[in-house]
Amino acid sequence: MWDHGLNQRLEDGTIRSAYGGDYGETKHDGNFVCDGMFFPDRSPKPALQEVKQISSPIKISAKNLKTGRFEIFNKQFFNDLREFKLRYEITVNGKVVISGDAKLPQVKARKNAIFTIPSKFLKAGDGAGERFINFNLESAVSKPWAQMGFEVAWAQIALPAKPLPKAKPAKERKNFVTQEGLILLPSCEVAPKLTLWRAPTDNDLIGRIAEKWDNWGLRDLQRSNVQVTHKGTTTRVVTTWKSGAGITIKHEQLVESVESGIRVTETVTLPKQLDDVARVGINFELSGDLDQLVYFGTGPFETMPDRAIGKVHRWSSGVADQYVPYIKPQENGGHAGVRWFSISNRT
């Protein structure tokens, strides 16, 4: 449940959480003694939020969205749901537009029941964008482990929605692409660059997966050839990348000028040899004073592609708050399923 790390004072006076091998022992389990849901100081890790959701005492599913009928299943083996209350909220593009209390049936253990939400709230309204109904199961009484009103579990169901309008094409091509094929963006210290690498996690070291990344030279991608062509308001950039081991990767960028800026479509073609890369993405290096993050995706805690139980919502916090201080530094702070994000400063 918690990391088995011990406070260790170093020669310079700093204190760290020590694990296997840090005391000079030859037989140990390394940092795999730090595989709990809590850090050694008992502060929770992001994965604990997912454990909580997996352990939810209920399961809610939609039976008929047109009539507002939902089914709730009591996963508990002994208790009914009389000590809980159920609230709902409907969101459009991550913003709450309607909220209220749902009449929670007193479902016996391991039984199902039907409840309803006014169907007029569930129909796609005038606004465009993704719509969800969120159910929050709250404690109706105070317990030794939680005060009344504590969110015990949640459920999220997608609702009918209208697509967002597409950006209108610009009348003239915008000069965001240099002759060298670099895309220049405001606030970017360095032009966006293809990346196939990230910091390995503990599990990446099993089976020597991270070692393959190093052997393929994924940390060191270099441009070997760039072709830039223009057609109307669109620029096409085709870049050939070479890894540190000489492996060729093709990268195509379609830069379309639209009224609000540019739209970039990225297409990366990997050779069969690269059958297990760390990631396929684009790195942006931004100005350090851009310290505020708003994003529409799963959260609010860290989520990963293989650990992505999070509520789709519009979340905001500091950029520095995304850091997760795992005892052995590794990939952290990711957010799966992000539709869009914005970075700004406090002003």
What is the rounded average pLDDT of the residues 215-244? 97
pLDDT band at 214 (very low <50, low <70, confident <90, very high): very high
- Identify any residues that bridge with 98 across adjacent strands, giving them in sequence order: 90
DSSP state of 44: B
DSSP state of 252: E
- The Cα diameter of the chain in Å comes to 69
What sign has the CA pseudo-torsion 266, 271, 275, 279? negative
Domains of the chain: 6-43 (no CATH), 52-159 (2.60.40.10), 188-344 (2.70.98.10)
Sole residue written with tokens 């406090």: 346
- pLDDT of residue 124 exceeding 90: no
Rg (CA), the chain: 25
- pLDDT of residue 186 exceeding 90: no
User: CA nearest 194: which of 209, 183, 205?
Assistant: 183
Structure confidence at residue 187 (pLDDT): 83
* Residues in Cβ contact with 208 at an 8 Å cutoff, skipping those fewer than 6 apart: none
Structure confidence at residue 137 (pLDDT): 98
How many whole angstroms separate alpha carbon 211 and alpha carbon 106? Answer: 55
Structure confidence at residue 132 (pLDDT): 97
CA distances from 201 to 66, 95, 175, 243, 302 (A): 45, 34, 39, 21, 14
* Residues in Cβ contact with 120 at an 8 Å cutoff, skipping those fewer than 6 apart: none
Structure confidence at residue 127 (pLDDT): 74
pLDDT band at 308 (very low <50, low <70, confident <90, very high): very high
CA angle 164, 156, 160 (to 5 degrees): 35
- pLDDT of residue 106 exceeding 70: yes
- pLDDT of residue 126 exceeding 70: no
- pLDDT of residue 125 exceeding 80: no
pLDDT band at 346 (very low <50, low <70, confident <90, very high): confident
Beta strands, E only, 148-233? 151-159, 188-195, 222-231
pLDDT in tens, 66-92: 999 999 999 999 999 999 999 999 999
pLDDT band at 47 (very low <50, low <70, confident <90, very high): very high
The pLDDT mean for the chain works out to 95
Structure confidence at residue 295 (pLDDT): 98
pLDDT band at 123 (very low <50, low <70, confident <90, very high): confident
How many whole angstroms separate alpha carbon 69 and alpha carbon 117? Answer: 7
Structure confidence at residue 343 (pLDDT): 94
% residues pLDDT > 90 (the chain)? 90
Residue 58, judged by CB atoms within 10 A of its CB (0-12, 13-18, 19+), counts as buried
- pLDDT of residue 347 exceeding 70: no
Two tokens at 168?
């209108």
